Structure 1
Amino acid sequence: MTHHRSRVCYFTIDCDDLDRAVEFWSAALDATEEEVSKASRQVYRRLLLPDSEIRILLQRTDDAKTSKERMHLDLETDDVEAEVRRLEKLGATRYDHQKERGFDFWVLRDPWGNEFCVLQTEYPALLARRRPWPEETPEVRGEV
């Protein structure tokens, strides 16, 4: 038996407009776009997060969203309401305010209907290493 390695390299998000998805998720996550091959660029875009080796892979699809996601992103913050408002300016919408099981967080939807959560601080030492967001967040172009 040989030894092998594996790791999470991508968290993939479906969308129907790659340019707009790059704008939204880059602004939402403070991510930067990485190059992909010219042949792949029509279907995929790749984002580098500022504090993780896991990449966000944006995947173009015309498939309609039909049900709740079974996997999603959780964002932690030291001010849930301020972060939700910042993400709404980028094009996210509030979906479900959870106040059960000792938690208080928001489930949001990105412009393509994909759910993600905004949580209270879970890892304060890691969050403290992130730079604060500017007071004003520019809006992402396009209809929501």
Structure 2
Amino acid sequence: MLVICCGLGNSALSATSVHVGASSYSVSGQSALILSAEMESKGPVADDGLRHPAKTKWDLQWRFQQKESNVGCAIDSIGISLGITHTKPIWRDKNQASQLLLERWTLFENALTQIQEYHVDLALQTATEIEARA
């Protein structure tokens, strides 16, 4: 697990804690068709109710502390917590696969990583926007 703590802005004391975790499920097979069928039957269920090869789920929570004075109320501090979990397949018997299938799997894994990174960036941007509006 990766834990990142950072301040997102300077309007009020802020701290963002980011926790990144990973989970996986096993697939096996010696053809792209079999691997695809394995992912369709074992992959994580998304919000649309369908199974997908991979999923990035994020949970964003925030808490504001206010301070009061004779002039009025203001935000004293902001705490933002972002939890991100990646779920993707692990190909268990790839050591028995053809070179071509291994190369295709590597391209597939790289594409999944790019999509996951996009979702992390989106979650971090959202946390930044929440903090900026405070």
Structure number with larger C-alpha Rg: 2
Could you tell me the TM-score, scaled by structure 1's length? 0.21
Greater fraction of residues in strand: 2
Could you tell me the TM-score, scaled by structure 2's length? 0.22
**More relative contact order, 1 or 2 (CA 8 Å, 6+ apart):** 2
